[in-house]
């Protein structure tokens, strides 16, 4: 009966366990993580909505090329007219037909205003392009944020594997020491110290597991995954070939691809367009006008006549803002200062980008050097551990020597795993500084 219950319980629990495993251990490449973040990031949604708004603003500016149409309708009551002599000595009443009806239609089209319409459209188009560039820059920032979280989890999982392997070795060593203790070759102190080492390793494994869970929770928010999802990193990531290029090649790419520099260039164009708009204020506005007015009563006769009459007009309207004569020069000067400021910001941004790329390139090369050094150190630490372990079990070394050798090997393994991840991290840092991540 117990056997039957166990078999039923196994088959009932198996689908649930499989579902939990598939949920909590999601195999995910870094490129797939990037795509999830781009699809689900709230920050990017805001940026994309901003681009839609900028695009719609451009469409609004294009409407200025179309004629302006207006119409109006008034209906009401007109009172009689009060009439006085110039010295207000005599007051009389003038009869006016009381029903009022006024229907007006007017159309006008701007013909010339210093190319103001086209300049406004061009400025709005540039602002639209800036909005798109900012979204692309946000894409890079989000990708780097995902890469940092992804690699942090990968680093901790590798560290956890190191401690799990060392825990297994420590337990095997504990069995051997306990056997030697039963033979009276070593003291109980050696057993106790080895048990402490095993306990410390197990505690470290649990702590790393908690840290991985915390990082997973943060990454799940960015990727739009369930809270219980646990990342299973792509183990081939460390074996992927990284293109070897010179610093000059990276700098040339940064000058071409960096979104901050592209935004600065567009802002320079916007500042230049602003100056054109300010100069256009000094030009007259010329428009074609056509209008028709249907009115009742006819008020320009004495006495006023209760009839409908219609007047239409067509011609050219010229308007000139006289205050622009003394206002525009100051505005243009302010616009010129703004253009100079934009160029200065562009130069400063180029310096910042260049310094960032140079520093990221140095860190990347340094990470490569560290990895080679730590791998060499690990070989030495492993060889030292094997020698000390043999000597200890042959009663030629103390337990403290074995513990030191174990700690040295563990630290060397941790440094190698960290250095392997760091080479990928610094490479993505370099790509982010360039703007091509």
SS3 of 377-411:
HHHHHHHHHHHHHHHHHCCCCCHHHHHHHHHHHHH
The confidence score (pLDDT) of residue 376 equals 92
Among 11-15, 335-339, 405-409, the range scoring the smallest mean pLDDT is 11-15
Q: Kindly report, residue by residue over 343-365, the tens digit of the pLDDT.
A: 999 999 999 999 999 999 999 99
Q: Kindly report, residue by residue over 277-313, the tens digit of the pLDDT.
A: 888 888 888 888 888 888 888 877 778 888 888 888 8
In order of start, what are the domains of the chain with their CATH numbers?
A: 2-40+113-284+320-434 (1.20.1600.10)
With cut-offs at 50, 70 and 90, classify the pLDDT of residue 26.
low
Radius of gyration of the CA atoms of the chain, in A: 40
The confidence score (pLDDT) of residue 348 equals 93
Name 277's Cβ contacts closer than 8 Å, sequence gap at least 6.
116, 119, 120, 123
d(CA 380, CA 405): 11
φ and ψ of 68, to 5 deg: -90, 125
d(CA 136, CA 350): 18
Question: What is the number of other CB atoms lying within 10 angstroms of the CB of residue 42?
Answer: 10
Question: Angle at Cα 303 formed by Cα 300 and Cα 306, nearest 5°?
Answer: 80
Side-by-side strand order, sheet with 309-319: 68-77, 99-112, 285-296, 309-319
pTM tops 0.75: yes
Helices (H), 2-86: 2-24, 30-40, 42-62
With a cut of 60, say whether residue 266 has pLDDT above it: yes
d(CA 212, CA 436): 29
d(CA 64, CA 143): 40
Among 3-17, 89-103, 249-263, 289-303, the range scoring the smallest mean pLDDT is 3-17
The confidence score (pLDDT) of residue 22 equals 35
- Residue pair 290/316 in contact (Cβ under 8 Å)? The answer is no
């Amino acid at each position: 009966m117990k056997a039957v219950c166990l078999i039923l319980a196994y088959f009932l629990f198996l689908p649930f366990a499989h579902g939990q495993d598939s949920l909590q251990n999601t195999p995910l490449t870094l490129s797939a993580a990037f795509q999830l973040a781009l699809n689900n990031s709230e920050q990017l949604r805001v940026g994309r909505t901003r681009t839609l708004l900028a695009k719609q603003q451009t469409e609004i500016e294009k409407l200025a090329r179309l004629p302006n149409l207006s119409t109006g309708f008034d209906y009401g009551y007109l009172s009689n007219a009060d009439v006085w002599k110039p010295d207000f000595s005599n007051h009389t009443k003038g009869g006016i037909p009381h029903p009022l009806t006024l229907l007006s239609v007017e159309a006008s089209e701007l013909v010339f205003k210093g190319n103001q319409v086209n300049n406004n459209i061009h400025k709005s188009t540039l602002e639209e392009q800036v909005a798109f560039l900012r979204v692309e820059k946000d894409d890079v920032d989000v990708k780097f944020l995902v890469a940092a979280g992804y690699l942090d989890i990968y680093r901790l999982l590798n560290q956890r594997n190191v401690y799990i392997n060392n825990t297994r070795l420590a337990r095997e060593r504990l069995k051997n020491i306990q056997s030697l203790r039963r033979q009276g070759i070593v003291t109980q102190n050696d057993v106790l110290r080895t048990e402490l080492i095993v306990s410390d390793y197990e505690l470290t494994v649990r702590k790393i597991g908690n840290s991985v869970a915390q990082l997973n929770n943060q990454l799940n928010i960015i990727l739009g995954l369930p809270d219980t999802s646990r990342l299973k990193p792509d183990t081939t990531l460390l074996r992927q070939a990284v293109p070897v290029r010179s610093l000059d090649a990276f700098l040339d790419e940064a000058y071409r691809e960096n979104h901050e520099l592209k935004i600065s260039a567009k802002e320079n164009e916007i500042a230049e367009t602003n100056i054109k708009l300010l100069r256009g204020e000094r030009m007259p506005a010329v428009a074609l006008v056509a209008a028709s007015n249907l009115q009742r009563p006819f008020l320009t006769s004495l006495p006023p006549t209760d009839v409908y009459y219609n007047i239409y007009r067509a011609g050219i309207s010229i308007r000139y803002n006289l205050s622009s004569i003394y206002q525009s020069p100051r505005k243009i000067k302010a616009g010129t200062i703004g253009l100079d400021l934009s160029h200065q910001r562009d130069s400063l941004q180029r310096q910042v980008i260049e310094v960032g790329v140079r520093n990221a390139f140095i860190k990347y090369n340094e990470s490569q050097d560290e990895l080679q050094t730590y791998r060499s150190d690990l070989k030495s630490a492993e060889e030292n551990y094997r020698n000390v372990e043999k000597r200890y079990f042959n009663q030629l070394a103390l337990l403290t020597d074995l513990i030191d050798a174990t700690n040295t090997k563990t630290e060397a393994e941790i440094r190698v795993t960290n250095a392997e991840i760091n080479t990928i991290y610094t490479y993505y840092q370099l790509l982010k500084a360039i703007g091509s991540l």
